[in-house]
Amino acid sequence: MNVGNRIKFFRLLRGISVNALAKSAGVSQSYLRDVELGNKNPTVSFIEIICQALDISLIDFFNENNAQMIEEHPLIKKIYGMSKEEKDAFLHLLEVLKK
């Protein structure tokens, strides 16, 4: 698995720049860029920080089947691209519709 490609995949899915992700995660933009390009090997702690900023779990990050599933299902792709606030609002809407 190419960790840099996974970070880039989820970052682009969220529609955010390297700079925005680095700022959100509190990490160096140049280091993040190097990780995405495959020039640096990040620690698990770094990946965890990035996952928190992307609002995904480590399990989702390392599950290679997710990329295919996300690409094949437009609704799932849209959900992964949402911010935490948008996900919360969507869940609320689903609860309202269930009633």
The CA distance from 23 to 49, in Å, is 11
Q: Which domains does the chain have, with CATH numbers?
A: 3-98 (1.10.260.40)
pLDDT tens digits for 43-79? 999 999 999 999 899 998 998 877 777 777 788 878 8
Its pTM stands at: 0.75
Higher-pLDDT residue of 82 and 89 is 89
